[in-house]
Amino acid sequence: MQLKIQAAEYEARQARLMGSLKKEGFLGFLTFSPLTVLYLTGFHFLSTERPAALVIPVDGPRFLFVPQLEIDHAKRAEAVDEIVTYPEYPDAIHPMEHLGDAMKERGLGSGAIVSESPGYGSAMGYRGPRIDEVLEDIVLSIDSERVETMRMVKSSGELALMHESARWGNLAHTLLQEHCAPGQTENQVSLRATEEATVAMMKTLGARYYPLGQVGASAIFRGQIGPNSALPHAVNINAVMHEGDTLVTGAGAGVGGYGSELERTMFLGEPSSEQVTYFHHMVALQDVALSALRPGIACSEVDRAVRAEYESRGLTSYWLHHVGHAMGLLGHEAPFLDIGDSTIIEPGMVFCVEPGLYVSGLGGFRHSDTVVITDAGFEFITYYPRQLEDLIIPV
């Protein structure tokens, strides 16, 4: 069996969505979001200036609306009855006019419709009318959170893909750690580890592998080497490694559209006493976060517990971000382990837990682990060693 979400799950997702809309008196659902199209049909495509949409009536044929150049590609979609195309954008007749005509022909030219946005949007030069400017008799209800909320609790199929991702992310990170040495650049080490892990992944999984997004495994530093590791969202600068550097890493793999997040703080050679102190503080903060995770409490309570730990240890000046975030089809998803998020944690939610310390001039200290909430608490999806003795690279 391929490592991908099966057709029955896409049907179940749509049935759940349509069930709620029908109870509320809506005629159907319209989305221009490539992410929502992927979640509901498994169709992954390159979003450009050419608009695309998915239309699901409560009763009637479901259709993908795509430019003509996508028609053969769109045939890979699951849980879709029709593919409606238009010639090109902008063309003599605007694509939104074609979409309006297709909706009218299927009984959706008037009445109440739920949409995640009033129209298509793209940074690639798209311009066009709202759908309710084309179909003046529809009543558009904008709801950008309905499907996002559905995505928060993962199915057994989704969790299987995330566990598989973690397996190959673990290998990529192992190789990354093995290849680190003074004088090496981050790109030399990252590219070598990424290639070796991806080749092993492809050989092992063979025809079962179905990426739907990120292809293969990866392990990176993203510029977080030495003092630059104190920048939580640094970018690749092809940094050169030196003995004594703090290294903050990231690893994962794309499997069937899903991923995992593994991050570790390592040291190139024996760390200083100051580095060791901050490392142990960071691990303790992550332990507090993990011990607070359980179903039935608000996300805010986890962040609140960890922020109290920062304060009790005198570390608040080194705090820069919340405890963590959910993960699934995206690397960062709602809900967030933040005092501003009151979402109640449920079994099946997946979080990346990553409280960090950022000491200017010295470095950053952050582990990130992907965990799934269970009835009893949580279970690790990632499983790389977390303790200091396992993360010192001999030179």
Quick one: 236 and 138 in the same domain? no
Quick one: 122 and 207 in the same domain? no
Mean pLDDT of 224-233: 96
Quick one: 225 and 143 in the same domain? no
Written in H, E and C, the secondary structure of 299-339 is: HHHHHHHHHHHHHHCCCHHHCCCCCEEECCCCCCEEEEECC
For residue 391, which of 280, 285, 274 has the smallest C-alpha distance? 280
Query: What average pLDDT is seen over the chain?
Result: 97
User: 9 pLDDT exceeds 90?
Assistant: yes
Q: How many CB atoms lie within 10 A of CB 83?
A: 17
Quick one: 160 and 224 in the same domain? yes
Quick one: 143 and 170 in the same domain? no
- Picking from 120, 150, 180, the residue at the C-terminal end of a domain is 150
1 domain-assigned? no
For 4-17, the DSSP string reads S--HHHHHHHHHHH
Quick one: 137 and 173 in the same domain? no
- When divided into structural domains, the chain yields a total of 2
Quick one: 311 and 361 in the same domain? yes
Q: Does residue 86 contact residue 68 with C-beta atoms inside 8 Å?
A: yes
27 domain-assigned? yes
pLDDT in tens, 17-75: 999 999 999 999 999 999 999 999 999 998 999 999 999 999 999 999 999 999 999 99
- 324: domain range? 153-393
Q: How many CB atoms lie within 10 A of CB 187?
A: 14
User: 156 pLDDT exceeds 70?
Assistant: yes
- Picking from 115, 150, 185, the residue at the C-terminal end of a domain is 150
Quick one: 189 and 52 in the same domain? no
Which pLDDT score is estimated for 153? 98
Please report, for the domain that includes residue 93, its CATH number.
3.40.350.10
Quick one: 259 and 123 in the same domain? no
pTM of the model: 0.95
For residue 285, which of 358, 348, 342, 229 has the smallest C-alpha distance? 358
Quick one: 157 and 181 in the same domain? yes
Quick one: 106 and 187 in the same domain? no
Written as six digits, the tokens of 294 are 């359980």
- Picking from 102, 123, 150, the residue at the C-terminal end of a domain is 150
